């Protein structure tokens, strides 16, 4: 019995050593985001250069190098508001002026401003729960919430 425990311990130790030797694999395994198209980004904000993106379903984040963690927070905040409406965020692009272009899985887009995000997401939620939105949601291409008291909607065929 004692020999089996020692062999098992030795096997586990050597397998974990060989597994951790490949640092890029570890980052890739933990990566949830693609940062500016040239790096992987973990939830903790660690970056590693992309060698091969493979077939992972990563969330694409684009922005200033100083805003990695802010964009990760934006993703979780936005996705938590949209998930109840079967809208899945696949990317966020933040401009220097604070405009956020949120790309959805079905190639639709939502535009908001980062400094008014909470108000604009509340307005979007109010709109999405209204009776009028049911017809619109099946046929929209872009929803723009950057206006003070309006929602601009661009349709797929228009």
Q: For the chain, how many helices (H) and strands (E)?
A: 5, 9
What are the sequence ranges of the domains in the chain?
Answer: 57-155
Q: Which two tokens stand for residue 53?
A: 């993106």
Does the domain made of 57-155 have the CATH classification 3.40.980.10?
A: no
Rg of the chain in Å (alpha carbons): 21
pLDDT of 75 above 80: yes
Beta bridge pairs of residue 40: 34, 48
In this predicted model, what pLDDT tens digit does every residue of 82-138 receive, in sequence order?
999 999 999 999 999 999 999 999 999 999 999 999 999 999 999 999 988 888 888
- The Cα 42–Cα 65 span in angstroms is 14
Q: What is the pTM of this model?
A: 0.76
Instruction: Count CA atoms closer than 13 A to 88's CA, side-chain side.
Output: 6
């Amino acid at each position: 019995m004692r020999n089996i425990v020692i062999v098992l311990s030795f096997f586990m130790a050597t397998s974990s050593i060989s597994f951790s030797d490949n640092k890029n694999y570890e980052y890739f395994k933990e990566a949830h985001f693609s940062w500016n198209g040239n790096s992987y980004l973990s939830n903790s904000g660690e970056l590693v250069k992309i060698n091969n993106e493979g077939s992972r379903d990563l969330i694409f984040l684009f922005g200033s190098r100083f805003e990695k963690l802010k964009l990760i927070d934006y993703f979780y905040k936005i996705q938590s508001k949209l998930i109840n409406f079967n809208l899945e965020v696949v990317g966020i692009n933040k401009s220097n002026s604070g405009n956020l272009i949120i790309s959805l899985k079905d190639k639709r887009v939502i535009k908001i401003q980062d400094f008014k995000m909470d108000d604009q997401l509340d307005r979007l939620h109010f709109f999405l729960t209204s009776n009028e939105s049911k017809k619109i949601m099946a046929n929209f291409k872009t929803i723009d919430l950057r206006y003070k008291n309006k929602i601009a909607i661009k349709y797929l065929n228009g």
